[in-house]
Every structure is written in structure tokens, then in C-alpha cells.
């Protein structure tokens, strides 16, 4: 038999993995409930204590699952509040931010105008300027391109700075100039690559007469 799935922080994902375990091992419906009670993660113990110690009659795996999901779910209002006010790019990659936004807006179409506007609003100004020509594209395509742009903007390589400049002792003002120059080079390189990608996308899209 395969090993029971470990809890990684997402209740819905854990239940999905547990059900895959049941299917792979041909676990009967009666045994599913016993395995569920024995496998509950420590995180969920306070939430399900009464369900385990005082199990109602005719309880099934599905009924316990629905009750646990109900007790651990965040309300739609709270999710929307988190989406609008709490989710920022920070150190995450843009595709990770988009994935989180879609999780919070589970009742909203994944390519909705709301998601696209919120995603763009979380990007640095210079990155939004670079991506402005892609506003009509799918947000998934935009996010993937944003990852590449952010790689340049966040971490311009010192290789972009001429070697002879790097070896000359410089003061704080000169350091700032070189850093700005390196950032500019990185942004221009990102624009060039993004332009090439957009050209390829335009060529691959069907054109109407």
C-alpha cells in the first residue's frame, strides 16, 4: 500500500490526495472513515475533535469531509477582502501572485477583468510600462512574461557593467550611477525580449479578414 499523504497546509488538497490514496488501494467506504479519523493532521485536531469523539450516527467519509471544509473555509467576503487589500507581490514571482489571487477569487473567472486589473496594480511602475502593450493578452501569458521582466528588474547582473568601470574605486554617487545604468540595461534587455515574444504571439494568432 502507498503511504498516506502528508498535510502540506491546504485542507482541500489534502482531501484530494487522501481520495487518490483510497482509489489506489481500493479502500472500502467503511474503511475510508476510519482511515480519515486516524490520519487527521494535528492542525485539524481542534477543529474536528467533537466529530471524532462523538461521531453522529450514519456518519460517512463524505459527510465528515464536507463538515471539515465548512469549518475551515474562509468566507467569500473575507477572501475578497484579502484579495483586494492583503495580496502584494513582495518577493514572490508574478505567476505565484496570480495563482494566489485566483485561489482567493474562486468564484470569479480566472481571466476576468477584475483579476487582470488587480494583478497589474501590484506590479512596479516600470514593469507596468513595459507590459502595457500586452494588456489585451490572457493574464496567464502576461504573468509568464512578467516573470522574465522581473528577473531582469530585480537582479541586474554585474556582467552588464563594463569590467573596467567595476575595477575603478568609486564613491557613493558613482555607485548609484552604475546601479542605475545596470538597471536601465536590464529593463531595455527585457523590453527587447518581450517585444520578440509579442511578435511571435501575434504571428501565431489567427487573423480575421
Tens-digit pLDDT string for the chain (209 aa): 568 888 887 888 899 999 999 999 999 988 999 999 999 988 888 888 898 888 888 899 999 999 998 888 766 677 778 788 888 888 889 999 998 888 888 767 878 888 888 898 898 888 888 888 888 888 888 888 888 888 876 665 433 433 334 343 444 544 544 445 555 555 556 666 666 666 666 555 555 54
Which residues make Cβ contacts (< 8 Å) with residue 39, sequence separation at least 6? 4, 18
Which residues make Cβ contacts (< 8 Å) with residue 206, sequence separation at least 6? none
- C-alpha 116/C-alpha 139 separation (Å) is 6
Q: How many CB atoms lie within 10 A of CB 38?
A: 9
C-alpha cell belonging to residue 54: 462523538
- C-alpha 47/C-alpha 71 separation (Å) is 7
Instruction: Please report, for the chain, the start and end positions of each structural domain, with discontinuous segments joined by +.
Output: 11-72, 76-204
- Of 106, 101, 105, 140, which is closest to residue 122 (Cα–Cα)? 101
Contact in structure between 201 and 156 (CB atoms under 8 Å):
no
Q: What pLDDT shows up at residue 200? A: 64
Contact in structure between 70 and 126 (CB atoms under 8 Å):
no
Amino acid at each position: 500500500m502507498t503511504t498516506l499523504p502528508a498535510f502540506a497546509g491546504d485542507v482541500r488538497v489534502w482531501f484530494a490526495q487522501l481520495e487518490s490514496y483510497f482509489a489506489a488501494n481500493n479502500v472500502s467506504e467503511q474503511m475510508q472513515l476510519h482511515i480519515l479519523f486516524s490520519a487527521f493532521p494535528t492542525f485539524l485536531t481542534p477543529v474536528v475533535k467533537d466529530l471524532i469523539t462523538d461521531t453522529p450516527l450514519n456518519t460517512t467519509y463524505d459527510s465528515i469531509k464536507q463538515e471539515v471544509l465548512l469549518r475551515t473555509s474562509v468566507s467569500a467576503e473575507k477572501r475578497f477582502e484579502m484579495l483586494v487589500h492583503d495580496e502584494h507581490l513582495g518577493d514572490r514571482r508574478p505567476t505565484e501572485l496570480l495563482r494566489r489571487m485566483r485561489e482567493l477569487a474562486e468564484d470569479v473567472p480566472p481571466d476576468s477583468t477584475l483579476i487582470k486589473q488587480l494583478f497589474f496594480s501590484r506590479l512596479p511602475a516600470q514593469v507596468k510600462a513595459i507590459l502595457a502593450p500586452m494588456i489585451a493578452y490572457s493574464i496567464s501569458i502576461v504573468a509568464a512574461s512578467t516573470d522574465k521582466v522581473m528577473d531582469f528588474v530585480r537582479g541586474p547582473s554585474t556582467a552588464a557593467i563594463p569590467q573596467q568601470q567595476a575595477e575603478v574605486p568609486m564613491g557613493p554617487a558613482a555607485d548609484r550611477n552604475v546601479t542605475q545604468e545596470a538597471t536601465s540595461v536590464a529593463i531595455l534587455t527585457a523590453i527587447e525580449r518581450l517585444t520578440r515574444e509579442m511578435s511571435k504571439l501575434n504571428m501565431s494568432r489567427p487573423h480575421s479578414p
